[in-house]
Amino acid sequence: MNVTTAPAMQFRAGRLRGEHRFFSGAALAMIGVIAFGFAPSFYLRGVISPRVPMEPLILRVLLHGILFSGFLLLFAIQVWLIAAGRTDVHRRLGRLAFVMVPLMVVVGIVTALGGVTRPLTAPPGLSPLSWLAVPLLDVPVFGTLLALGLTNRFRPTLHKRYMYVAMTDMMIPGFGRMSLPVPVHFYGLMSQIILPSLFLIALIAWDVRSMGRPQRVSLGAGAVVLAVAAAKPLIWSTPAWLHFAGWISAPFR
């Protein structure tokens, strides 16, 4: 081995180990947030008292929960496989995502539209038609980010960051179902923007540490997630949105 290349190889190996630690730790935290947020309403329903009254668990909601939980399990396994150096298995298993992601988008939207007739699915004081803005905007966003992640599966730098930002978007409903120690009027800002922003800031900080600059996917995709999160409360009580939500949900009532 050329002695001049040894330090460079050691540096790359150390950077790769750091990359694995960062994304593995972030994946565990993301899955933990979602599992904890949905524990009272889904994972430990009947064991943990919910923060607010809940609608009955019907078939389409159960299917929605199982499908999204299956994707979380797949995501955790995929991150572990990369950390273990099993890129070959990671790529073969990743083919499941090409089936699961379209199903998640369709089932998520259908479940949301059917939820209009289930008023307890919306937070207290907000109509189901207004709350429909959350899934109808969020589901296409994380579906698109996951699709971009799959499209860039042979470009690891982009692939990891698209998947990371998509999972950040998926955490927002989990944060929204937690009992956060903040005033009621501050709850939406905390759960929809501030807490997800912490994960996006962590990603950008890692970019700077590992590459010397923020990666464009981290900035661009993260900005989209935050822009959509900020837009939802601005539009969901407008006459235009209420008219659209009533029209698109009519076949599901």
Q: What is the structure's pLDDT at 160?
A: 93
Helices (H), 46-194: 59-83, 87-93, 95-114, 128-131, 133-151, 156-176, 184-189
Rg (alpha carbons) of the chain, rounded to whole number: 20
Residues in contact with 164: Cβ distance below 8 Å, sequence separation at least 6, in sequence order:
23, 26, 199, 203, 218
Distance CA 194, CA 229 (A): 10
Distance CA 143, CA 151 (A): 12
Distance CA 182, CA 166 (A): 26
Backbone angles phi, psi at 62, to 5 degrees: -65, -45
Distance CA 75, CA 70 (A): 9
Contact 82, 90 (CB under 8 A): yes
**Residue spans of the chain under pLDDT 50:** 1, 4, 8-9, 11
Contact 131, 55 (CB under 8 A): no
Contact 196, 172 (CB under 8 A): yes
Instruction: Report the percentage of the chain scoring pLDDT > 70.
Output: 93
Minimal CA–CA distance to 68: which of 11, 127, 108, 14?
A: 108
Q: What is the structure's pLDDT at 184?
A: 65
H/E stretch holding 46 reads none
Query: What b-and-e string marks burial along 83-97, b requiring 16 or more CB atoms within 10 Å of the CB?
Result: beeeeeebeeebeeb
Minimal CA–CA distance to 119: which of 54, 167, 58?
A: 54
CA distances from 62 to 25, 65, 175 (A): 28, 5, 20
Question: pLDDT for 173-182, tens place per residue?
Answer: 888 788 777 7
Residues in the chain: 253
Distance CA 236, CA 126 (A): 9
Q: What is the structure's pLDDT at 14?
A: 56
| Residue listed under structure tokens 């409360």 | 233
